[in-house]
Amino acid sequence: MSAQDGVEARNARKVYGTGQEKVVALDNVSIVIKRGEFFTLLGPSGCGKTTLLRLIAGFETPTSGTILLDGTDITYDPPNKRPVNTVFQSYALFPHLTVAQNIGFGLEMRGHAKAEVDSTVEEMLALVRMESMADRKPTQLSGGQQQRVALARALAPQPKVLLLDEPLSALDLKLRKEMQSELKRLQLETGITFIFVTHDQEEALTMSDRIGVMKSGSLLQVGSPREIYTRPADRFVASFIGETNFLTGVLGKDAITLDAGGTLPLGASTQAKSGSKVTASIRPEQIRVIETDAPGSLPATVTESVYFGTDSHCHFALADGTEVVVRLQSPASGDVGLSRGQNVFLRFEPGALMVLEDQA
Amino acid sequence: MSTDSDRLERQRNRNGWLLSTPALVLLAFGATGPLLIMFVYSFLEPGKYGNVIWEFSTKAWFNVFVQRDIFDGTLSPADAHLTILWRSVKLSLMTTIFTFIVGFPTAWFIATRPPRMRTLLLFLITIPFWTNLLIRTFAINQIIRNEGLLNTLLLKLGIINEPLLIIYSDFAVFIGMTYVYLPLMVLPLFASIDRFDMRLVEAGYDLYASRWQVLKRVIVPIVKPGIISGSILVFIPSLGAYVTPRILGGGRNMMIGNFIELQFGQGRNWPLGAALSVILLLIVAVALVVYVRFANRGDSNV
C-alpha cells in the first residue's frame, strides 16, 4: 500500500449560486482517507459533509481543487466512470426492478456476464441476509430491508470506496442500532473503504476508525473517536460530540484557576500561554459528587435533577453561578438522592479537564 | 354490532350506486347507444336519399373490402378504401411517434423546472386549447400554403426558388395533427415525469450506467404509464381526425373520418358509413390491446 492509496481531497471548494445568493458549501477542504478505513464525516446539516460526498461520488464537480483516488485525479470523471458507489439517504432503489435485479444492476451495466451477475447477486443477498426477498419489489420491503438492498446494490460491483449518505436516518432507534453493527461487520468483511456521512455523534463514535468533524464548509478536526471525544479541538467540536461543561479561568502552570474559584490540574498540556484567559471543558461523566470538601473539588448547589433511566443528569450551580451538568448512574431505586438547594462538592476526575485550543 | 355495521356498509354501497346512476345512464345512452345503432345500420340497405331501409344485408360490409366494376360487374379489392384506411393508420402512428419524440424532452424540461416556472410552462402548454380547432388548423394552413408565411419567408431569404408544395399532402396532415395533439402527449408525460424520483437517475449513473442506459433502463420503464396514456390520447383522436385532413389534406388526402362523413353525406350510403365506423372502432380496440400488452411485457424481463 503506497502513501497515495485511498481518497484524497485537495483544497476542495464548492460554491453554489453567484453574487448575493452565493453560498460556500465547501471551503478549501483537504483530507486524506486511507484505504480500508471506516471514515465518518460528522456535522450538523448544512455543514458541507454531503457536498464533499457528492464531489467524491462525482455528482458534482468542485469549483476549485481536486479529488484523487489512489493517487489518480478523478475530479472530472463522471459517476459511472468511478469505482465508487453510493448508498443514498432515500435508498433510491429502482421501483420497477426486483431486489435481485436492483443488486445486479451495477454489474450488468459494467457488462459482466449473466452467470457472473447472478452468482454475485446471490453472494450479496447472503451477505445482507436477504435471500428470501430476491424476487420482491422494493415497495414490498420495510425500511430496514430496503436499506440492506441499497447496501447490497452498492457493494455488488465491488467498488474501491463506498459512500453512505446518512443511510440510517430514516430508521427507528432499534433498527438503527442493528444496522450500525451490520455496517461495521460488512466493512470488516469486504475491506472496502467506507465514507459515512451523519449528523448523529453517537453513530460516528461507535462505528468509525476516524472521524472528520465539519462545520460551515470547513473541516474542524480529524481523528479517532477517542481523540475527538477526549481532546476536542475547539468549543464546537466539544459540544457537538457528546455533552460537555464549559468553565472559564486563568491558565497557570499545568493548572487552571477557575473564575468560579479553586485551582484544578489540567489533563494535558496546552499551547495556550500561561496567565491567559481560557475556556476548559469537562464531560458530565467525569465529575463525582461528594458530601465533604476534598482537594481538587468545588462547592456547588443542586439546581435540578433529570431522570434518564440508565442515568440521571444533575444540574449544579458553582459559586459564581456557572452551570455544571453531572451524569450520575442510577442506583436500583432510581433516585440519586440529591434534592434541589442541597450543597455538595464536585470532584473532577484527574486529567479530565481540557483547555480548548481555539480559546488561546 | 357486526350486523349493524354490515347493514351500514350495505346501505353505503347502495347509496353509492344510486349516486352514480346519472353517469351510468348517460354512458349507456351516450356511448353504447350510438355504437349499437351504427352496428345495426351496417347490416341494412341504404336508402335512396340517405337513411336506411330496414332489410338485412351484408352488402355494406362486402363493399368495405371489395368493389364491383360498374361496367362488367367483376370483383376487385376496394383499393380506395384500403388506401384511406392505411393512410389513417400510418399518419396516426407517425403523429403518435413524433409527438412522443418532441413531447418527451418538453415534458422532462417542464418537470425539472422550479415550481413557479413549471406552473407557467404548463399554462402555456394549455393555451392552444383556448382556440377552436378549426381556427388553429386554418392558421396552420396560412403558414404552410404555397403563398403562406413559410414559403414567403424562405423565398424572400433566397433559401428556395420555388414554393414548397406542402399543403394538401399527407405531410401537411401530419404537421397539422402533430401540432394539434402535441399537448395531449406532453401533459400525461409531464404527470408521470413529475412523480419520477430524480435521485434514481443519480443512482443509475452511480451504478455505471451511461446516459443512454439510464434513459432506457431507469427512466422509460418508470414513466411508462405516462407514455402509454399519452400515446393513447394522441393515437385515438388522430385515427378519427376529421377537421385537420379536411383543411390541410384537401379533398384528395382523405382519412377514414372524412370518408365516413362522405358516406353519410353526399355518398348517401349510411350502411357503408356505419360499417366503416365499426371498423374504425375495431382498429382502435386492437391497437389498444396490442399496445397495452406490448407495454406491460417489458416489466418482467428488464
CATH number at residue A316: 2.40.50.140
Using 50, 70 and 90 to split pLDDT, how confident is the model at B159?
confident
How far apart CA B225 and CA A308 sit, in angstroms, is 52
Ranked by mean pLDDT, the top range of A166-175, B45-54, B256-265 is B256-265
Domain boundary among the residues A235, A266, A297 is at A235
Same domain, A265 and A221: no
Nearest CA in chain B to A163: B206
Record: contact A94-B203, CB cut-off 8 A: yes
Task: Note the ipTM here.
Answer: 0.82
Record: contact A105-B206, CB cut-off 8 A: no
How far apart CA A270 and CA A259 sit, in angstroms, is 19
Determine the pLDDT at residue A3: 52
pLDDT at position A76 over 60: yes
Same domain, A130 and A213: yes
Give B-chain residues touching A90 at CB under 8 angstroms. 197, 199
pLDDT at position A254 over 70: yes
pLDDT at position B168 over 70: yes
Q: With left for phi above 0 and alpha for psi between -120 and 50, is residue A158 left, alpha or beta?
A: left
Q: Write down the residue that cell numbers 467498488 correspond to.
A: A159
Q: How many CB pairs under 8 A join A and B?
A: 64
Nearest CA in chain A to B202: A59
> Please, where are the H alpha helices in A5-98?
49-57
Structural domains of chain B sorted by starting position, each given as residue range(s) with its CATH number in brackets? 78-301 (1.10.3720.10)
Give B-chain residues touching A80 at CB under 8 angstroms. 205-210
**Secondary structure tally for chain B: helices H, strands E:** 15, 4
Note the residue count of chain A. Answer: 360
Q: What single-letter DSSP state applies at residue A257?
A: E
**Å between B197 CA and nearest CA of chain A:** 8
Maximum pairwise Cα distance, chain A: 76
Same domain, A224 and A207: yes
Nearest CA in chain B to A87: B203
pLDDT tens readout for residues B175-228: 999 999 999 999 999 999 999 999 999 999 999 999 999 999 999 999 998 999
Cell numbers placing A158:
465491488
Cell numbers placing B95:
403523429
Which residues have C-beta within 8 Å of that of residue A165, sequence separation ≥ 6?
Answer: A50, A53, A86, A87, A88, A89, A197
Percent of chain A predicted with pLDDT > 70: 97
Residue type, A221: Q
pLDDT at position A360 over 60: no
Record: contact B209-A101, CB cut-off 8 A: no
Same domain, A331 and A259: yes
Using 50, 70 and 90 to split pLDDT, how confident is the model at A1?
very low
Give A-chain residues touching B206 at CB under 8 angstroms. 57-59, 79-80, 84-86, 154
How far apart CA B288 and CA B299 sit, in angstroms, is 18
Q: With left for phi above 0 and alpha for psi between -120 and 50, is residue B138 left, alpha or beta?
A: alpha
Cell numbers placing B229:
396514456
pLDDT at position B3 over 60: yes
Record: contact A88-B202, CB cut-off 8 A: yes
Determine the pLDDT at residue A248: 87
**Å between B224 CA and nearest CA of chain A:** 10
Using 50, 70 and 90 to split pLDDT, how confident is the model at B1?
low
Record: contact A79-B206, CB cut-off 8 A: yes
DSSP B141-179: HHHHSTTSHHHHHHHHTTS-SS----TTSHHHHHHHHHH
Calculate the average pLDDT of chain A: 89
Residues B290, B213 contacting (CB under 8 angstroms): no
Domain boundary among the residues A235, A268, A297 is at A235
Using 50, 70 and 90 to split pLDDT, how confident is the model at B302?
very low
Same domain, A87 and A229: yes
- Mean pLDDT check: name the lowest of A20-24, B4-8, B162-166, B229-233: B4-8
Residues A348, A281 contacting (CB under 8 angstroms): no
The domain total for chain A is 2
How far apart CA B196 and CA A183 sit, in angstroms, is 29
Determine the pLDDT at residue A146: 93
Record: contact B206-A86, CB cut-off 8 A: yes
Determine the pLDDT at residue A269: 67
| Any A CB within 8 A of B71 CB | no
**Å between A85 CA and nearest CA of chain B:** 6
pLDDT tens readout for residues B246-286: 999 887 788 999 999 999 988 889 999 999 999 999 999 99
Q: Torsion angle, CA of B149/B155/B158/B163, rounded to 10 degrees?
A: 120
Which residues have C-beta within 8 Å of that of residue A243, sequence separation ≥ 6?
Answer: A283, A284, A325, A327
Determine the pLDDT at residue A46: 87
Nearest CA in chain B to A150: B203
Positions of E strands within chain B = 45-46, 52-53, 66-68, 75-77
Q: What is the mean pLDDT of residues A104-132?
A: 93
Cell numbers placing A216:
460551515
Same domain, A221 and A274: no
- Mean pLDDT check: name the lowest of A109-118, A140-149, B159-168: B159-168
pLDDT at position A54 over 90: yes
Nearest CB among B200, B210, B213 relative to A94 is that of B200
CATH number, domain containing residue A97: 3.40.50.300
How far apart CA B85 and CA A255 sit, in angstroms, is 99
What 3-state class would DSSP assign to A51?
Answer: helix
Residues B136, B180 contacting (CB under 8 angstroms): yes
Determine the pLDDT at residue A20: 84
Nearest CB among A80, A88, A97 relative to B209 is that of A80
Residue range(s) defining the domain that contains residue A67: 3-235
Determine the pLDDT at residue A202: 87
Which residues have C-beta within 8 Å of that of residue A203, sequence separation ≥ 6?
Answer: A40, A168, A176, A180, A196
Nearest CA in chain B to A81: B208
Same domain, A34 and A171: yes
Same domain, A340 and A202: no
pLDDT at position A153 over 90: yes
Using 50, 70 and 90 to split pLDDT, how confident is the model at B136?
very high
Record: contact A157-B222, CB cut-off 8 A: no
| Any A CB within 8 A of B222 CB | yes
Record: contact B199-A96, CB cut-off 8 A: no
Same domain, A276 and A343: yes
Give chain A's contact residues with B (Cβ, < 8 Å): 57-59, 78-80, 84-86, 88, 90, 92-97, 101, 105-106, 109-110, 153-154, 157
What 3-state class would DSSP assign to A242?
Answer: coil
Same domain, A183 and A165: yes
Q: What single-letter DSSP state applies at residue B47?
A: P
pLDDT tens readout for residues B101-129: 999 999 999 999 999 999 999 999 999 88
Question: Closest Cα to residue A87, out of A137, A6, A147?
Answer: A147
Record: contact B222-A95, CB cut-off 8 A: yes
Using 50, 70 and 90 to split pLDDT, how confident is the model at B298?
low
| Any A CB within 8 A of B212 CB | no
Domain boundary among the residues A214, A235, A256 is at A235
Determine the pLDDT at residue B252: 78
How far apart CA B55 and CA A223 sit, in angstroms, is 97
Nearest CA in chain A to B210: A80
Same domain, A131 and A220: yes
Q: What is the mean pLDDT of residues A39-55?
A: 93
Give A-chain residues touching B218 at CB under 8 angstroms. 94
Same domain, A222 and A248: no
Determine the pLDDT at residue B301: 40
Nearest CB among A80, A86, A105 relative to B210 is that of A80
b/e map A113-138, b = 16+ CB within 10 Å: eeeebeebbeebbebbebeebeeebb
How far apart CA B118 and CA B128 sit, in angstroms, is 17
Residue type, B178: T
Record: contact A92-B199, CB cut-off 8 A: yes
Determine the pLDDT at residue B100: 96
pLDDT tens readout for residues B58-90: 888 988 888 877 787 778 888 888 889 999 999
- Mean pLDDT check: name the lowest of A36-40, A265-269, B31-35, B147-151: A265-269
Q: What single-letter DSSP state applies at residue A23?
A: E
